């Protein structure tokens, strides 16, 4: 295991200590619990947006907490859900009188705990709505059963912008849902990653092998085989996305080329270039793209491609300035 760590059982808390010490003007914890991660900039009357999920995906999930994005994040163990109590404690800290949106990835443990926290809020008369990201096309034929992966980036941006503009809970929910309804993601891994407390990879890939359609926790993909070129991967990925969400010629999209951890930014821009060629050939116009690490799996090599159909409303949300310790857009 080639990691720069101390005791594996201290992985999450030492990471959090480093983050809080580095960004005291921007974030703080609630209830004396490092894993209750909250913005230090609460705005009265704003809808509070809260997420959560397992550690090991930075900047997901906590990296999206900050100005113009979201307000709190429950930090679970590596690839584990935060508890309902943690989510509840975060909510009590950041809730600002305009209701709460729970926005997180479509995983069983997270759904259970966010639902439980939501029930606790009912007793406090705090209005709460929940929405999951479920953008991973290859994880299931049924859109509602799909895993949430990097596409939640666009949902955070839409919800965060709408809340910042003073939107109501229903409006913030609708903005996030519109982004979620219009985004599709396909990903692939070239190497596995290692959960620190386990100490070895939970699957293997040969020296020349990759896994197409793999999830960010190493969930099996649709095929394992020899590594393809960036052009071939772009063609296959864009093909899967457009088969699921047909786009007319002239449609504008936002593009997210996301690195899973170990893949260099150089390669991500090569992939960006390959994806643009594919979309261009189909008459789909890339309005704007983001390239870098937005949802990772520790030291996994690989990438994901998210395509989000945009109109003027979504463009406005995606152009909204944001500033967190991990993500900055002017």
> Of the candidates 169, 204, 176, which has an alpha carbon nearest to the alpha carbon of residue 190?
204
- Which DSSP state fits 65? B
Number of chain positions touching its own copies (CB under 8 A): 58
Q: Which residues contact 187 (CB under 8 A, 6 or more apart)?
A: 136, 138, 149, 150, 213, 214, 215, 216, 258, 260, 302, 303, 304, 305
User: What is the pattern of x (binds its own copies, CB under 8 A) and - over residues 166-195?
Assistant: ------------------------xx----
299 part of the interface to its own copies, by CB under 8 A: yes
Q: Catalytic pick from 43, 200, 217, 320?
A: 217
Residue placing its CB nearer to its own copies in the complex, 13 or 119: 13
Q: Which residues pair with 308 in a beta bridge?
A: 183, 254
202 part of the interface to its own copies, by CB under 8 A: no
Angstrom distance (rounded) from CA 262 to CA 70: 26
Encoding tokens for residue 93? 């800290």
Contacting its own copies within 113-132 (CB under 8 A) = none
Residue placing its CB nearer to its own copies in the complex, 85 or 231: 231
Minimum distance of its own copies from residue 6's CB (angstroms): 5
272 part of the interface to its own copies, by CB under 8 A: yes
User: What is the pattern of x (binds its own copies, CB under 8 A) and - over residues 303-322?
Assistant: x-------------------
> Of the candidates 13, 84, 94, which has an alpha carbon nearest to the alpha carbon of residue 52?
84
Residue placing its CB nearer to its own copies in the complex, 137 or 279: 279
> Of the candidates 29, 295, 66, which has an alpha carbon nearest to the alpha carbon of residue 160?
66
Angstrom distance (rounded) from CA 267 to CA 274: 10
CA distances from 110 to 9, 119, 160, 178 (A): 21, 14, 21, 22
Minimum distance of its own copies from residue 330's CB (angstroms): 5
270 part of the interface to its own copies, by CB under 8 A: yes
Is residue 43 part of the annotated active site? The answer reads no
- Which DSSP state fits 137? G
237 part of the interface to its own copies, by CB under 8 A: no
281 part of the interface to its own copies, by CB under 8 A: no
Minimum distance of its own copies from residue 260's CB (angstroms): 10
Q: Each residue of 316-326: b (16+ CB within 10 Å) or e?
A: ebbebebebbb
60 part of the interface to its own copies, by CB under 8 A: no
Is residue 320 part of the annotated active site? The answer reads no
Angstrom distance (rounded) from CA 235 to CA 258: 16
39 part of the interface to its own copies, by CB under 8 A: no
Q: Catalytic pick from 23, 41, 43, 57?
A: 57
Report the length, in residues, of the chain: 330
List residues binding its own copies (CB under 8 A): 2-6, 11, 14-19, 21-22, 55-56, 58-59, 190-191, 207, 210, 227, 229-231, 233, 261-274, 276, 286, 289, 291-293, 296, 298-299, 301-303, 323, 326, 328-330
Active-site amino acid positions:
57, 217
């Amino acid at each position: 295991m080639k990691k720069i760590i101390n005791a594996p059982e201290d992985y999450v808390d030492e990471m959090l200590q480093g983050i809080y010490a580095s960004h005291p003007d921007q974030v703080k914890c609630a209830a004396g619990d490092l894993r209750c991660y909250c913005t230090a900039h609460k705005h009265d009357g704003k809808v509070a947006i809260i997420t959560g999920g397992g550690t090991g995906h930075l900047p997901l999930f906590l990296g999206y907490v900050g100005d113009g994005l979201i307000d709190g994040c429950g930090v679970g163990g590596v690839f584990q859900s935060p508890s309902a109590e943690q989510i509840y404690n975060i909510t009590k800290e950041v809730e600002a009188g305009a209701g709460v949106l729970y926005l997180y990835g479509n995983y069983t443990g997270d759904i259970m705990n966010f639902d439980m926290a939501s029930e606790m809020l009912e007793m406090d008369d705090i209005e709460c709505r929940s929405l999951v990201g479920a953008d991973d096309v290859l994880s299931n034929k049924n859109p509602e059963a799909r895993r949430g992966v990097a596409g939640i980036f666009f949902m955070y941006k839409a919800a965060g912008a709408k809340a910042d503009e003073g939107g109501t809970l229903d409006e913030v929910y609708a903005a996030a849902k519109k982004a979620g309804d219009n985004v599709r993601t396909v990903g692939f891994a070239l190497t596995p990653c290692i959960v620190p407390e386990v100490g070895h990879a939970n699957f293997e890939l040969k020296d020349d092998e990759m896994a197409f359609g793999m999830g960010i926790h190493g969930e099996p993909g649709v095929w394992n085989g020899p590594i393809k070129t960036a052009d071939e991967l772009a063609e296959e990925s864009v093909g899967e996305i457009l088969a699921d969400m047909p786009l007319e010629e002239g449609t504008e999209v936002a593009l997210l080329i996301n690195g899973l951890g170990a893949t260099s930014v150089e390669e991500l821009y090569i992939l960006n270039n390959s994806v643009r060629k594919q979309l261009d050939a189909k008459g789909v116009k890339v309005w704007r793209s983001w390239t870098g690490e937005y949802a990772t799996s520790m030291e996994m090599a690989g990438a994901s491609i998210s395509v989000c159909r945009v109109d003027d409303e979504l463009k406005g949300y995606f152009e909204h300035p944001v500033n967190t310790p991990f993500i900055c857009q002017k």
